[in-house]
Every structure is written in structure tokens, then in C-alpha cells.
Amino acid sequence: MGYPHPSHPKETVVLSQYFGDAGARSYEGWTRRGGYEGLRKALGMAPDAIVEEVKASGLRGRGGAGFPTGLKWSFMPKGDGKPHYLVCNADESEPGTFKDREIMRWTPHALIEGCAIGAFAIGAEVCYIYIRGEFTEPWNVMTAAVAEAYANGALGTNVFGSGKRIEVILHRGAGAYICGEETALMNSIEGRRGNPRIKPPFPAVAGLFALPTTINNVETLAAVPQIMVRGSAWYKGLCLGNPKSTGTKLISVCGHVQRPGNYEITMGTPMKELIYDMCGGMLPGRTLKAVIPGGSSVPIMTAEEAESCVTDYEGVVAAGSMLGSGGMIVMDDTTDMVYQIWRLAKFYAHESCAQCTQCREGTSWTTRILGRILEGQGTQEDLDLLLDLSHNMTGTTICVLSDSCATPIVSGIRKFRGEFEAYLSGARAPVLAGV
Amino acid sequence: MTDRVEQGTAREPAAAWEPVFQGETLARLKALFEKYPTKRACLLPALWMVQEARGWIPEQAIGEVAEVLELTPAYVKGVVTFYTMYHTHPVGRHFIQVCTTSPCGLCGAEDTLRAILRETGCGELGTTSPDGRFTVVEVECLGACGFPTPILVDDADFIESVTPANAAGILARYP
């Protein structure tokens, strides 16, 4: 299927097979499409065997960090007698990313099934799914699906007659980008301000309610039932050369392409094919200028870097950026890079939780300096000042929001310095009015 | 993730405060206690219940929530003010959040926002239209970047692909 466009022949359709197919939303419709076979199979396995199977598949976290999922699960203590928690991060709020939304809207049971398998594997009886407050339709679809899953024995005190208890509880956020950070998310579920926590302790030791917790992204968990049914060897085989990046990845493409939307690719697909074949390339008469490949927090790539980039975790790093969440922002030759970098900095300044000085001050100072450059009031020293501030904002705070603000600034000045210089020299007319 | 609307001078009428947490609403909240190991964890859901019932989070409700969850009003207020979707003052009959973050910005979100401000009669961000019908704010990334420009109306209706051309027709659905 595919949504909003039919799947492209170059896509590898696994998670997105039923996007756009409203019939897949119901329990009955989902089981008719092979749903819940993965959970039934998992319930017949030892939890350790599930973890090993996921490890063998090579599945890595799809929320941004790319940490191996099976390894993360294996960090959970065994035989400690304490309650464990699984938390699903459905706070999708990284600018450029809109894939988890489609998973929840079209295939809610894929996520519920993945949560149930994950919870069983890590010895948790309760899984909280934290859905951002703005996602009203995914919330409604998930609410209906969870109720149906309970009614059909896929959740509850005796899942499919196995004697195992697995509860899935939906928790609605209330507007805060930072709650997508895993420790801020746990604070938010606990009824606190969404301030990130210092690590260690890591969540597997002391997470939600100070108990052992694993946090996984929606797309990661939705892939797990497929691995259970089709096997780790099949999943590992979805790879175009680099065995460290396996499976499929949903790439949300937005910005200046002909057909924005979600595209599911085999890891290792050339970015050029994604942009020009699947998304139809640029609008008529326009050319590619820059790509932010993994959500707004990763370094900006030039057109040349993007066109020679292999889309997998290592490939994007080799091309000077990161795959992140797979939220790809495409910019054509009409784009004012200075303005776009200012707008990104403004986003981070708005979303800083303000715990750490470098972030609270740095995000707003950099935004103001970029603003004055756009007002035609910038000086040559401002570029050095921006780089100096960015340096102080990197690696010095509790979470990486501060680093994420510095990243587009540093990569932007390095790769598009001429555009900054044009404002500084007066060659380019100011676009922001002075304040 | 909206910008907070400027604090007005609006106060609750002097009439006696009608508690939010009684009857069915209280029962719904108490049912949530089963789902979490602490009452504190029910704070965000409780605040959503207040906003659904009253359209915003009045001072009296902060006190009520604090009491029912065994927290202090100061603590509850600290949490309310962290999250941008909770309104700390009354808003128009229809509350409209317009995404203008970079991906939407690249695709004309600022023009859409201007059209919405004009059509609603709000004029500027964060203010309520003179007829009390609309309040319009900017929101940071609604997570639907492939469908610019998305807007969220009344914390309920998520509408994709709003443009200056179709904005008036969409707003007409909200009397």
C-alpha cells in the first residue's frame, strides 16, 4: 500500500505494508493479515531466546541512537524480584520525522504486539506507551486497538492462555519536545516536569519509578513481531552490504521534493535513489542544495554529500552526518540556509528545559546572534562567536538538546559560509526586521 | 509545544467553584490509580481531564488536583507550566496551533499562518479574536512534516495540508 503514495518498487515493504489500509486497524483485520503470530510464537519461547533472536537480527534502535535492541534488552537484570517496565517512546517530535505516527495510525496492533513481545522478553508485566499530546488521531486509534487487544486476550492477565500477564497502558504527553529524551519521558510519566536525568544510573538499573526499565522507539518495537515470525536470518539479510545496519528503515522525507512521505528502504539504499527515484526529485527547475538526513539534530549535508551517501547508520556517518530518526529534510537551491539555521536554533531555544546553563543560555544566544545576522546587523566576529558558543554547548550538558542546537550551526557555517558572509557584507538584503 | 499565550487578566467569576473531580470524572481518575504505582503519575492525565472539562486549568483546579493526588499546589503548578498544551488562562472557543518549524517553514507555513491570523480576525499570535471564537498560536513541530502545513484544532482535530487557499474553508467548520 503505502501512504500517502503507493509504495515505490524500490521500497522494501515490511512495516509499511498496510499503511493506507484502514482494514488493518482492527484486531480481526490484523489477525487476518497474519498479525499476532509473532506474539504467539514468542510466548512459547524462553525470554532469553527472544533476546538472542533479536540480537541475531541486527535490529538497532530506530528512534535516533541506533543502539542494538537485543543488547539493550539483555542489560535488564534477571531474577532480581523487582517489577520491570517496558516503555515505548511514541513522543515523535524531532522536526522532519513522522513515521511513528503512521505506524500507530495504520497498524496499531503491530506496535501492541511488539510491546507485548518486548515486555515478555525483558520480564516486564507492564508497558507504557508515551504518545505526544498533539497526536490525537494516533491516540484514538491506539486506544481502540488496546481495548480490542484486551478483549481478545492478546493483553491482560493471561495472554493467549499462556498464564503470562502483559498490560499496555497509553500515556498522553502535553507538549514538550524534550520528553522524547528517554529520561525526561520517564519523569513525565511519573507526573514530573520533563527534565532529563543524569545518567548513570541507566534505565536498565533505575528507570521508571526507579525500577529496571527498557525504552524503545515505536518503529523498533513494530519490527519485532516480523523478526519473530520470519526469523532473524531473514531480517539480517535485508541489507545491501554493511552487516552492521540490517533490516528496513522508514525514512520520512519532507521539504522540497515532489512526493514527500514515508519510504521504507533496505538499509544501504543509496540516498540518491531515495531522493530522485522514490520521492521524484526536486520541483521543476530546482536543484538540490542541502539535506538534513536524520531529523533536525544531525549535521547538514551538502548536495554532493547526500548524492554519494549510502543510507544506513555507518554510511551516513561516513558522509558527515547521522541517520538519526530517519527524518530527512530536503532543501533546494531557493533555500536561505542562514534563515533555516536560525529557525532551527529558535526551535531548540523554545524547547530547552533550561536545567543546564550551556543549553538555556546557548540556545537563546545563538538564536539572537543568528537573528541579528539576518537583520543585517551581524559582524565578522559573530561567526567565530557562534562557533565558540557551539563548542561550549557540545558534550557539556545532561542531555543532547544543546548539542543538537549547535550541530546545524557548526555544519551550516562550515558548509555554507558564503551565505553568512553575504549577510555580513551587505551583499544580501536583511530578511528579518530589527527588533 | 506552543508558545505560551500572554497572561491575561482573566479571573474566574466570583461564583462558587464547581469541582471538576466529582461523579463520573472522579471515578475516571480513580480508575487510573490502578494503572500506576504512584498517584503522582496520574498528574498529566488529571490535568487533561481538567482541560477537557473547563477548556483551561484554573487556579482552583490546581488546588483540586493537588488534593486528590496528595501533592502540593506549588508542585502541580510547576508541572502545568512546563507543558505547553495546558492553558493557564481562558482561550477562544477554538484553539488553533499552526506548525511553523523548519520542514513546514520550507513549504510555506508562514504564509499559511498569516492567512489563518487574517481569516480568524485574531490579527496577532496568542490573542483571542474579538468575537471570542479563535485563539491562534505557533507550535513547534507537529510531527507531520510531509503534509505541510498541519494544524491542531481544540487539542482534537489534526488537519494536514492547510494552505492560504483552503484555510478559510477549514476555519468555517468551527463556528
Whether pLDDT at A14 is above 50: yes
Q: Do B131 and B94 meet the contact criterion of CB atoms below 8 Å apart?
A: no
**Residue B16's pLDDT is what?**
86
Q: Which residues of A touch B31 (CB under 8 A)?
A: none
- Name every residue whose Cβ is closer than 8 Å to that of residue B102 and which is 6 or more positions away in sequence: A95, A96, A296, A329, A340, A343, A344, A347
Average pLDDT (A68-77) is: 98
Note whether B155 contacts A169, CB cutoff 8 Å.
no
Query: Using CA atoms, how far apart are residues A432 and B7, in angstroms rounded to an integer?
Result: 26
Nearest chain A Cα to B143, which residue?
A98
Query: Using CA atoms, how far apart are residues A253 and A5, in angstroms rounded to an integer?
Result: 12
Over pLDDT 90: what percentage of chain B? 90
Q: Which of residues 153-172 of A touch B (CB under 8 A)?
A: 167, 169, 171-172
Note whether A191 contacts B2, CB cutoff 8 Å.
no
Query: Using CA atoms, how far apart are residues A63 and A103, in angstroms rounded to an integer?
Result: 13
- Looking at this protein, which amino acid is placed at residue A227? I
Q: Do A49 and A87 meet the contact criterion of CB atoms below 8 Å apart?
A: no
b/e per residue A206-244 (b: at least 16 CB within 10 A): bbbbebbbbbbbbbbbbbbbbbbbbebeebbebbbeeee
**Which of B50, B65, B99, B140 is best to mutate for the A interface (most A CBs within 10 A)?**
B140
**How does pLDDT run across B93-107, given as a tens digit for each residue?**
999 999 999 999 999
Q: Which residues of A touch B78 (CB under 8 A)?
A: 193
Q: Which residues of A touch B107 (CB under 8 A)?
A: 254-256
Rounded to a whole number of angstroms, the distance from the CA of B81 to the nearest CA of chain A is 9
Query: Using CA atoms, how far apart are residues B118 and A57, in angstroms rounded to an integer?
Result: 54
**Residue A2's pLDDT is what?**
77
Over pLDDT 90: what percentage of chain A? 98
**How does pLDDT run across A180-231, given as a tens digit for each residue?**
999 999 999 999 999 999 999 999 999 999 999 999 999 999 999 999 999 9
**Residue A67's pLDDT is what?**
97
Whether pLDDT at A435 is above 70: no
The separation between the first and the last C-alpha atoms of chain B, rounded to the nearest angstrom, is 25
Query: Using CA atoms, how far apart are residues A414 and A435, in angstroms rounded to an integer?
Result: 28
Note whether B146 contacts A262, CB cutoff 8 Å.
yes
Could you tell me if A67 lies within 8 Å of chain B, comparing CB atoms?
no
Count other Cβ atoms within 10 Å, centred on residue A168: 24
Nearest chain B Cα to A169, which residue?
B35
Rounded to a whole number of angstroms, the distance from the CA of A253 to the nearest CA of chain B is 7
Give me the half-sphere count of Cα atoms (radius 13 Å) on the Cβ side of residue A2.
Answer: 21
Query: Could you give the C-alpha distances from A253 to A148, A158, A161, in angstroms and in order?
Result: 32, 41, 42
DSSP lists the bridge partners of residue A332 as: A288
- Name every residue whose Cβ is closer than 8 Å to that of residue A351 and which is 6 or more positions away in sequence: A176, A177, A178, A401, B1, B140
- Name every residue whose Cβ is closer than 8 Å to that of residue A33 and which is 6 or more positions away in sequence: A18, A24
Rounded to a whole number of angstroms, the distance from the CA of A45 to the nearest CA of chain B is 27
Note whether A172 contacts B105, CB cutoff 8 Å.
no
Q: Which of residues 344-403 of A touch B (CB under 8 A)?
A: 344, 347, 350-351, 353
Query: Could you give the C-alpha distances from A54 to A60, A117, A124, in angstroms and in order?
Result: 9, 11, 17
**Residue B154's pLDDT is what?**
95
Whether pLDDT at B7 is above 50: no
Report the length, in residues, of chain B: 175
Rounded to a whole number of angstroms, the distance from the CA of A331 to the nearest CA of chain B is 8
Burial class (CB in 10 A: 0-12, 13-18, 19+), B15: exposed
Give the orientation angle of helix B43-54 with respect to helix B23-33, to 10 degrees: 160
Place of cell 486497538: A145
Q: Which residues of A touch B139 (CB under 8 A)?
A: 134, 175
Tally A–B CB contacts below 8 A. 151
Note whether A136 contacts B83, CB cutoff 8 Å.
no
Note whether B107 contacts A254, CB cutoff 8 Å.
yes
- Looking at this protein, which amino acid is placed at residue B25? T
Note whether A343 contacts B102, CB cutoff 8 Å.
yes
Whether pLDDT at B6 is above 90: no
Q: Do B129 and B122 meet the contact criterion of CB atoms below 8 Å apart?
A: yes
**Residue B91's pLDDT is what?**
96
Q: Which of residues 108-127 of B touch A (CB under 8 A)?
A: none
**Which of B62, B101, B145 is best to mutate for the A interface (most A CBs within 10 A)?**
B145
H/E run at residue A215: strand A213-217
**Residue B8's pLDDT is what?**
46
- Name every residue whose Cβ is closer than 8 Å to that of residue B40 and which is 6 or more positions away in sequence: A190, A191, A192, B69, B71
Over pLDDT 70: what percentage of chain A? 99
**How does pLDDT run across B12-40, given as a tens digit for each residue?**
555 789 999 999 999 999 999 999 999 99
Three-state SS at B159: strand
Nearest by CB to B79, which of A193, A252, A260? A193
Q: Which residues of A touch B140 (CB under 8 A)?
A: 93, 95, 177, 347, 350-351
Could you tell me if B37 lies within 8 Å of chain A, comparing CB atoms?
yes
Q: Which residues of B touch A363 (CB under 8 A)?
A: none
Query: Using CA atoms, how far apart are residues A174 and A131, in angstroms rounded to an integer?
Result: 9
**How does pLDDT run across A285-313, given as a tens digit for each residue?**
999 999 999 999 999 999 999 999 999 99
Note whether A175 contacts B43, CB cutoff 8 Å.
no
Whether pLDDT at B5 is above 80: no
**How does pLDDT run across A156-166, given as a tens digit for each residue?**
999 999 999 99
Query: Using CA atoms, how far apart are residues B149 and A127, in angstroms rounded to an integer?
Result: 33
Place of cell 467553584: B17
**Which of B1, B79, B91 is best to mutate for the A interface (most A CBs within 10 A)?**
B1
Note whether A194 contacts B69, CB cutoff 8 Å.
no
**Residue B4's pLDDT is what?**
54
Cell of A404: 543538537
Burial class (CB in 10 A: 0-12, 13-18, 19+), B74: exposed
**What value of ipTM does the predicted structure carry?**
0.95
Could you tell me if B56 lies within 8 Å of chain A, comparing CB atoms?
no
Query: Using CA atoms, how far apart are residues A402 and B141, in angstroms rounded to an integer?
Result: 18
Nearest chain B Cα to A95, which residue?
B141
